[in-house]
Structure 1
Amino acid sequence: MTTEPEDDLYDRIVTPYDIRGLFRAEVDPGLAYRAGAAFTELTGAGTVAVAHDARASSPCLADAFGQGVLDQGADVVDAGLGSTDYLSYVSGRLDVPGAMITADRAPAAYNGIRLCHAGAVDVDEGSGMELLRRRLRGPRPPLADRPGSVLPARLLPDYAGHLRTLVDLSDIRPLKVVVDAGNGAAARTAPLVLGHPSIELVPLHFELAGPVPHWAPYLADVGALGEKVRESGADAGLAFDGDGNRMAAVDERGAPVPPATVIALVAGRELARRPGAAVVHDLLTATSAIDAIKEAGGIPVRSRTGPAAVKALMAEQDAAFGGAHSGHYYFRDFWYADTGMLAALHLLAELGESGRELSELAARHDRYACSGTLEVRVPDPLAALQRVVRHFAAEGTALDHLDGVTGELADGAWFNVRVPGTGPVVRVNVEAGTVAAMERLRDRVVEVVVSAGR
């Protein structure tokens, strides 16, 4: 591991949401062992579940983390290779804390550890991550008098079976669906979850490969998926990220289906089962999805960005469903955890029951123009944020500070500017009623952001 001061290392790799860094140089088996021991001491758990993604470096880190658990006298549920939502299932079903060895969307040279309390409750800053960071800086916990035991538990079929009980596919028409697993964990989970007599799966990038070379960051590039859909005459295409928990979709033309459309379609189905329930959405979710929630009789509840924030608010509101602009979809029937596979089942059920093309279903929710997330480099992100606040407050724009600053204009257009804390950048999102209006507002906001650093 690197020889830089340990405080600097832990400040960098122990983020508010996970442990993540360069494999070997920053995150190696030694760190994984210490994290397993510290997490066991922190939770006081008698059993910890451990799963890992398809990166070549993940099995050795899973073994090392598990050994740290065992040496503290706790048992390890060895869940093996799977997706992050598979680990959520194991944690929720067995009611034990869990560790997922994954670096999510980071490049192949990275790896890391995501942690959850029993019941698939995220560990983040304020619920244990800050304590874990402190314990990693301290001495290694002493060995227990008696080590724990390894409990092999390959529960992928049970995970798939649980998801299949939540969506009825019995009345769908025959569908041909391309699935891009990105050489990641979805190559294992998708056939089990989506396999159905009425669904012909066309696999794309299903070879398990450590570097997950075909996975695109943020699922933004679905060009290969769209091309395969057109080439094969499929009804839809689904893509999953490296650890298999996020999902992106394309229609029969290969055109991307925005996450807001997926939120709208899935929310309608969940609200048909639970009329009047709350549906949580992050504050960057397009207004079309919020409109759809209201039209379906639901109560839209606005959240900060990030899985922990959405899940906590869902539990507080007893929400039926939650969605985020980034392609995360959360379900009350899945311990409030996110699972792109369950969202995919709902999408295919809606497509198969409606008798319409996916492009038709999506068109109903194409009401606003969105910029997507823009990353703008500035020398001082906090100064840039304050400049935005001063500038638009002086114009009389209604502002709120739930997450960064959000401004809402009189015509319903809105913008959000956030400081992600991942370098000298701010993130900008803009929505308006037309493309031209969106571009004008986007350019205004970016100009104010950039001028803050001049």
Structure 2
Amino acid sequence: MTSTQLTPRLADIVKAYDVRGLVGSQLTPAVAHALGWAFARRMAAECGARAVVVAHDMRDSGPELSAAFSRGVVEAGLDVRSAGLASTDMLYFASGSMHLPGAVFTASHNPAAYNGIKLCHPGAGPISLSTGLAEIRDEAQGLLDGDVPAPRGGGVVSPVELLPTYARRMHDLVDLRGIRPLHVVVDAGNGMGGLTVPAVLDGLVRVDPLYFELDGTFPNHEANPLEPANLVDLQRRVVEVGADVGLAFDGDADRCFVVDEGGAAVSPSAITALVALRSLARQPGGTILYNLISSRAVPELVTRAGGVAVRTRVGHSFIKAEMARTGAVFGGEHSAHYYFADFYKADTGMLAALHVLAALGEQEGSLSELVASYAPYAASGEINSTVADVQAVLVRLRMWARSRGGVVDELDGVTIDLGAGRWFNVRASNTEPLLRLNVEAPDTGDMEALRDEVLGIIRG
């Protein structure tokens, strides 16, 4: 086997919007070095960048990989602002406030064996395969394969401290002073929320911490609150201590999930609606983005409040592009990614959490009472099915929908509106033979009946 055959193939780990791979086999210091060099060259050529801000999360491989990436940046002739430990939204804050391209080493909620890189343009602008990531990948592959001369740049590395200024920015955006006392349980999942939550919330609310120790082996549960099993500890603690609210952050703390005082998970669509209405109170008539698997309650409430609701595809690059195009003040996804115009159009779980705490603390009712009007419909949540022929299933669904008089929309996957508040979306996974189903209806009985009928078509 030749050395070229042993060289990691970047096409396996450079995804649509980021880098994600197994440490030691797919993502190595050599790979990180090559990607740092290629990223810096691209940023210098594209936007005249002279420095890159680099950070990493709590995974054991983060310091070595980020150091190798930084060496690549320096050898490309750019300086490095080294931020050390940081959440993803801290990296976006650094990129936005310093107007520098950025890179944070994180695999978000993936298991401990993985790491990755989230990259951004200056001002926290998104990077995807169609906006430079493919070229970065190919140039880095050339360096790994020995097709280009070894780089010898002259940049320097200097430290930068982000946490205090990040916390101040959060406090400037949502002021919790003057709200009623709140008891908040926070499950950081041994991820970066263990760093950011104390800096932002201490002294403003009573924080009951769960798994704040930074540990990239995730000894308690996966740092993926989208999976119901990973919310169980938070739900139990909220009820045991009589807390007002529970918050769960994913590994890199760019997503936040909410649990009410009774331990029930609050739909991210309800949080989208809540934050949207708060945003519209500040900027009447503003535009709000929501992705197409969000509850129909979101556009209804936004329109009722005098705002403009714009439906988007699923995925942060689409949301951020639409924010730039429409001048939207806020955007939400049903995956609990929340995007703020006043936070560089970037997503941040912390700012969404602050809005929830402010809304709760500014009135006397419980969280379940507060969000009831934001979640009037019954939803299935996302249901995955393994199928042999994705396209054949989608054809069957379109035919079935038309036989029922359904309206078919193909903005992202297939969305079928059957009227009377009954609709569903089916999207294919980009990486696996999976179909992802989301169903909504006016009540639980209608939703379950529609869910089961559609699953019968998908799995039959």
What range describes the TM-score normalised by the shorter chain of this pair? over 0.9
Corresponding position of 1:207: 213
In structure 2, stretches of 5+ residues that fail to align are none
Corresponding position of 1:389: 398
2:238 paired with 1:232: no
Deviation, structure 1 residue 6: 7.5
Mapping for residues 225-264 of structure 1, pairs under 5 Å: 225-264=234-273
Corresponding position of 1:122: 126
CA separation in 1, counterparts of 2:303 and 2:279? 13
SS at match of 1:364: helix
Corresponding position of 1:37: 37
SS at match of 2:429: coil
Corresponding position of 2:318: 309
8 A contact 2:18–2:117 mirrored in 1: yes
Distance 1:80 1:201, change over 3 A: same
Corresponding position of 2:349: 340
CA separation in 2, counterparts of 1:172 and 1:347? 12
CA separation in 1, counterparts of 2:331 and 2:119? 20
CA separation in 1, counterparts of 2:203 and 2:361? 12
8 A contact 1:219–1:239 mirrored in 2: no
CA separation in 1, counterparts of 2:362 and 2:79? 45
Count, aligned residues = 449
Corresponding position of 1:54: 58
2:277 paired with 1:273: no
Could you report, residue by residue, the CA deviation over 1:9-43 in whole angstroms, capped at 9, with x for unpaired residues? 43321111111111101111111111101111122
Corresponding position of 1:285: 294
Mapping for residues 84-233 of structure 1, pairs under 5 Å: 84-139=88-143, 142=149, 146-197=153-204, 199-213=205-219, 214-221=221-228, 222-233=231-242
8 A contact 2:8–2:25 mirrored in 1: no
SS at match of 2:362: helix
Could you report, residue by residue, the CA deviation over 1:352-380 in whole angstroms, capped at 9, with x for unpaired residues? 10111111112222311111111100012
After alignment, is 141-150 or 110-119 more displaced? 141-150
Deviation, structure 1 residue 400: 1.0
Deviation, structure 1 residue 196: 3.0
SS at match of 2:129: coil
Q: Percent identity?
A: 47
8 A contact 2:33–2:68 mirrored in 1: yes
2:379 paired with 1:370: yes
Corresponding position of 1:22: 22
CA separation in 1, counterparts of 2:250 and 2:274? 21
TM score, norm. by length of structure 1 = 0.95
CA separation in 2, counterparts of 1:340 and 1:393? 39
TM score, norm. by length of structure 2 = 0.94
CA separation in 1, counterparts of 2:116 and 2:3? 19
SS at match of 2:346: coil
CA separation in 1, counterparts of 2:327 and 2:376? 29
CA separation in 2, counterparts of 1:104 and 1:234? 27
After alignment, is 227-236 or 425-434 more displaced? 227-236
Deviation, structure 1 residue 394: 4.0
8 A contact 1:77–1:152 mirrored in 2: yes
Deviation, structure 1 residue 7: 9.6
8 A contact 2:386–2:434 mirrored in 1: yes
8 A contact 2:340–2:347 mirrored in 1: yes
Could you report, residue by residue, the CA deviation over 1:62-87 in whole angstroms, capped at 9, with x for unpaired residues? 11111110111110010110110000
CA separation in 2, counterparts of 1:402 and 1:205? 39
